[in-house]
Structure 1
């Protein structure tokens, strides 16, 4: 018996394309966003109920129950001077998680946003430097909202929106940490 498959049948049997791409890890992002840093200190921040409530009051969506109150921060130091903090996080794109990192200078201004891993089949344009550059220099006082001070990318609306919300949340967590004394040298 001879089996003949058409080109369409072969395509249907072919494995689906893998869209997941890891671009860098959080340590690499920290070195890229804080190249003048002499050392990085990893700290685990535990956000108490009051801090989480403050985030909700600012209209920020809480993270997942598993990670909502824990934040891993990498403090960038040059000698005894705190240069800033890098926080790696994840948001849901359309169907899959997008891993990203935000570098925040000690004065509360965003130094940069890096996409660590992108797993969606569409919307990868959020990795383009021109789109990510829109966040640089923004503080918590900025709207940081798609359609206001952050441009949307057609075909990547959910990725743009969710990443923007995530960056805004990281900036708010940084401000809570700063006010709560979590940035002090140990």
Structure 2
């Protein structure tokens, strides 16, 4: 192998892997997609106590890595119309950033993938797959292969986003309801 080929092969592979990282939505764009026009948003800083963290983990069966989840209260006038979370889960190797919208009663309104950094598995952005979460609430099964269908080739992304939604539903019940 020519020496110059060795010098460009590794950077070329790294560049190719990084080329798959795509930002699809900003927080503001996700808010606009998940809530009706005219909804305003108020940042709602959360600081989970160790007891809340344990309760969330016990209720969801998922480790809560972040003690400061990003949450916004969605307001229709002065009335709470729902909540928006922005969260990250690991895909296979990289983080997936997604927004989860809940209605005022804690049921899923919708989910949007904001950033996807993996080289494959991006099919979780399909509206049909994401619609499976609508109406789900804390206590529903929310297990891949049970009530959430898997996507072949995107199993880890599907599993981890499903786990993340289950964790955020438990976060709502524990810290916001």
Larger helix proportion of the pair: 2
Name 2:62's counterpart in structure 1: 61
Q: How does 1:93-132 map to 2 (within 5 A)?
A: 93-132=91-130
CA contact (8 A) 1:37 1:76 kept: no
Unaligned 5+ segments in structure 2 are none
TM-score normalized by structure 2?
Answer: 0.88
TM-score normalized by structure 1?
Answer: 0.84
Name 1:184's counterpart in structure 2: none
RMSD: 2.2
Structure 1 runs of 4+ aligned residues shifted over 6 Å read none
Q: How does 1:155-174 map to 2 (within 5 A)?
A: 155-174=153-172
CA distance in 2, matches of 1:108, 1:59: 15
CA distance in 1, matches of 2:11, 2:133: 40
Unaligned 5+ segments in structure 1 are 180-186
CA contact (8 A) 1:37 1:83 kept: no
CA distance in 1, matches of 2:135, 2:38: 19
CA distance in 2, matches of 1:59, 1:178: 15
Name 1:39's counterpart in structure 2: 40
Q: How does 1:6-155 map to 2 (within 5 A)?
A: 12=9, 15-16=12-13, 17=16, 18-64=19-65, 68-155=66-153
- Rg larger in structure: 1
Alignment: residue pair count:
172
Q: SS of 2:46's equivalent?
A: strand
CA contact (8 A) 1:89 1:101 kept: yes
